[in-house]
Structures are given as structure tokens and as C-alpha cells.
Chains A and B, each alone.
Chain A
Amino acid sequence: MNHNQPVYTDNDPQSELVTLNLGPTHPATHGVFQNVLQLDGERIVSGVSTIGYIHRAFEKIAEHRPFYQITPLTDRLNYCSSPINNMGWHMTVEKLLNIKMPKRVDYLRIIIMELARISDHIICNTIIAQDTGATTTFLYLFQFREHIYEIYEEVCGARLTTNIGRIGGFERDFNDIAFAKINKFLKEFPVALREFESLLNRNRIFIDRTAGVACVTPEDALSYSWSGPLLRATGVDYDVRVNEPYCSYEDFDFEVPVGTSGDIYDRYLVRNEEMWQSVSLIEQAMEKLKHEPAGVFHADVPDFYLPAKEEVYNNMEALIYHFKIVMGEIDAPKAEVYHAVEGGNGELGFYLINDGGRTPYRLHFRRPSFINYSMYAKMSEGMLLSDAIINMSSMNIIAGELDA
């Protein structure tokens, strides 16, 4: 028996069932993972999910890297919304070090995180549309992801794997061009999103393909530890931003949209509404920024926050701090901390154990895609193949977050 293959096979030569390998590389999976399906005609009888094709041992690597060098690893978890991962990691370390952030930094972080959430949801929702055959909507809204990447680029210089911000704040203040681009985005995106909704929300073909497909009960969703828009689509109003506010989310006024049946259409609607809420959050944050002292972009913690480069070259203390921080020689408490943020796909958790060394003793990522995906094979049973494919799109499984 070849152990590379999933253990499940149907060896009966008389069987009427067809085995279909969906993946590891398949246009419909939008990532590298495999499903071996047993088909009876077009209907799926059973399936086995195989993952791990891009496993990169991040948890092992993280045990050998100082805190600063772990940020680029988090980029590569959910690479559709890397800033949320970056900020989640920074906030985990800040929680460990008991750093209190200035409000202005929190608001800047919220702007970036909500932009990331919008870009994540744009990908998911446009791809549901794409997989049901509506290419126009995909191309139409997808350009706004480009505009969001331009904002990232203005803030940190990178686009996809952003490595944005630092432990203790941002590496530099947002410049005027960044603010101008955010304002432009806030003006243009709602128009496009409204048009996107008008193309799909009441579209007969789209509703026929999505409504009532892959319904999930809240009990099942909770039992499978679902989180994020998928859980909310089933009607459970769990959002980490509300349940355990971090980064000053408690200062903001926003709603948590929930669905009723947990089907693909509800997931689509929940994500769309979350984009509206994110736009509103960014607007509120831009408004709040006007009342905060300008120019504050990091906490005053020289022991942990990397000094500016010109300081390092001209100032002895700055050079010492720079060296100590880069080498991981910081006085972090020996403790363990769990910090969760609301990622694009759900609760993104960081479980960090520090033993006083230069590197974490153990770092575990609670990756929402990994946990959400565990139900996929079971959900697919009895489903049409074409429905299973849009079901996968609507779960927004990101291979990077699946495999870590």
C-alpha cells in the first residue's frame, strides 16, 4: 500500500463509483491542497482532504528566531490579509511585555487591519462570484485590492507580505500620500461595492447556485470550532473584536452581521456587510485621528522598540538598544500568553511561551483556515461536485494559513 495516498480507497472493481482527485493543483481549489472524492455521477459520496503540501514548519522556525524575526513568518500565514497577522503578533508580544499603546497607534492599526479585512473579503466574495460564472464582478471589485496594496506600499513599502509595523508601533508615521490614498479609497470603494452588490445580491443565477447550498447549523459550526464569517453566517454572533476588544476596538461603533442558515449565500452576505462595517470603522478611525496628537506612531518603550536608523548611526545608546533588540536580548517576562485577533477568516490566535531566552520557547498559531477546513470533507458528502467547489471558495481556505 502506498502511504502517500490517503488510506481511504474503494478497491471494489464492481464499484460504480468514480474516484476523482481534486487537487493538489487545480484551478478550483485556489491553493495547493487535495481532495480525493468518490463520485456517484455528479454527487459526492465521500471524500478525504489531504493538506500539508506547502508546510513550512513555521512553529519550529519560530523557536529559533527572536521576536522581531517572527513577523515575516506571520505574513505568510494568511497572505491575503498579512497586516492582520503582523499586528496580531505585535500585540501578542506587547501583551507579554505589558506595553500600553498610544491611542493614535491603535487607530492607525485599525485602519490598516480593516483595509486588510476588506481585501480578504474582496478576494473571497469575488471568487465565489467567479466560480459561479460571473467574471465581470470579479474583475470589477478586484481592482480595489490593488488600491489597498498601494496604501500598504505607501505605509511600509511592501504589498503582499507586508511585514508592517513593529513591536511597539509603526516603523514610521503615515505620510500625506497614504492618508490621501485612504481618503480616495473611502470615497470610491463604497460606490463599487454597492454596484457589486446590485449585480449579485438579487441575481437569480447567483441565488440559485448559493442559497440553501452547504447549510451548516450553529451546533455543528461550534462543534467544529468554526470562527469568523463562517460561524457568523450560521447565526452565532462571535467576533473577537467585540468579545475581547483589543487595539481600542471598544472605542468604535460597529455591528456584527450574522446569517441565519449558514449557507453560501449567507456567508457571502455576511462578508459583504463586514466590508461595509470595515469602511465605517476606517472612517471613524480617520475622524478620531484628528483629535490625537500628530506624529505619534509608536509607544515610548526604548527597550523594545527599534530606534530610528539615523539615531543608530549617531547615538551610542540607540546603537546599543538596536543591537540588543535585534539579537533578542530583551527582558521579556517568563510567561505564557494567548492573544487572539479577528482575522479575515476567524479567530487568529497566538499562543506564546517565553522562558526568558532570546527566542520563544514555543509559539503556536491557531489558524482559522486549518480549523474551519476540517469539516469540508464531511460537508461535501451528498453534495454536487459543482456545489462543493463554490463551498470551498466560500470558506476562503488560504493554503498558507492551512499549512503554516
Chain B
Amino acid sequence: MTNEDLIKLLGDKFGNKISGVNEPYGLLTIETTKDVIIGVLGYLKESAGTGFNYLTDITAVHYPERNHIAVVYHLHNMVDKIRIRVKVFIHEHTPTIPTATVLWNGANWMERETYDFFGVKFEGHPDLRRILNMDELDVHPMLKQYPLEDPNRVDKKDEYFGR
């Protein structure tokens, strides 16, 4: 199975719900929408033609200038040794997406981590609590508006230290 076969399979099945097809460094990357994401992941996992039965990772990326949070899934087909990256862009003010725990148990903690750091609410998740930060924290620290250093400090400016 090659990336072209996969693009064709997904195009036949989901039509214009699949967009942004790209292959950075050979890793097939597709974008989809949150209403069909579980359908897409389930199809990739269970269909005989695809067989991505291993969830490698779930994480998110914040793009403040576009008001987007991208939820990124990495799946792996161990038999054909092929990976796929599925992205869903959701609005940063309404960060909700259906949970993937219905497909993989391992998604539980990965989604808790994503919720903890980005505030993405995974609908239907059995136990959506913070996992690494303390429960009292009232921000989701990986969002770009939160600086690394204490913003009240005047002696250290971000432009001197990289970003």
C-alpha cells in the first residue's frame, strides 16, 4: 500500500471532507473536520484496506493568528510499515472534538494531556481531568498567549532569547 492508494481510498469514502493532503518527509498528512473525525479514524483503523490499528500519538498545536487549534493524530500501520498524520482544525474559543477513546484505550491519557495543555474538550471522554498540571491551574499553559517567563519581569525580554 502506498500513500497514493490511501489518498484514493479516503477520497472515495469521505470526498471533500478530506483536504490539505500533503507528504512532508514521506509521512502522509491529511486534514479533516471534527464532525467526521471519528469516522475517519475508525475507517483507518478497521477497514481491511488501511489497517492503521495503532494509535501512536495525539497532541495539539495552537495557531493564534488563525484562531485555530489543530488536534493532531499519528496513526501507524505496523504490517505495511506506514504512518499517517490526521489533523483537525478547531476554533480556539470552542475547542471541542469527539473522543477517540471509543477506538483506542490508549487515547485516554493522550487526550487528557491535550486537554490539560490546550484546553481541548474531548466530548464523551470517560475521565477528562488534568493530568500533569495541578487541578487548581486556571489556564491551559501550552496556548501561545501564555509566556514561558513571568510576564512581570522586565530584565528578560523574549526577543533576546529566541522567540
Contact = CB atoms under 8 A, between A and B. Distances in A.
A349 interface: yes
Interface residues of A, number: 50
Interface size class of B (residues with CB under 8 A): 35 or more
A383 to B, nearest CB: 18
Interface in A307-327: none
Contacts, number: 108
11 contacts: A3-B136, A4-B134, A57-B141, A60-B142, A64-B161, A223-B105, A226-B106, A243-B81, A336-B24, A336-B29, A347-B56
Interface in A328-370: 328, 335-338, 340, 347, 349, 351, 353, 357-359, 361-362, 364, 366, 370
Nearest to A63: B163
A374 to B, nearest CB: 4
Interface string B66-108: 0000001010001001010100000000000000000011111
Given A3-B136, A223-B104, A335 B61 contact: no
Interface in B115-149: 117, 129-136, 141-142, 148
A238 interface: yes
Contacts of B43: none
Interface in A71-124: 95-96
A361 B136 contact: no
Contacts of A220: 105
A336 B27 CA distance: 10
A61 interface: yes
Interface string A373-399: 111000000000000000000000000
B78 A243 contact: yes
A10 interface: no
A4 B137 CA distance: 11
A222 B51 CA distance: 13
A225 B158 contact: no
Nearest to B146: A60
Contacts of B133: 52, 55
B99 to A, nearest CB: 14
Contact of A371 (B53, B110, B141): B110
B55 interface: yes
B74 to A, nearest CB: 6
Contact of A224 (B57, B74, B106, B136): B106
Nearest to A236: B78
Contacts of A66: 162
A51 B105 contact: no
A266 interface: no
B106 A64 contact: no
B132 A52 contact: yes
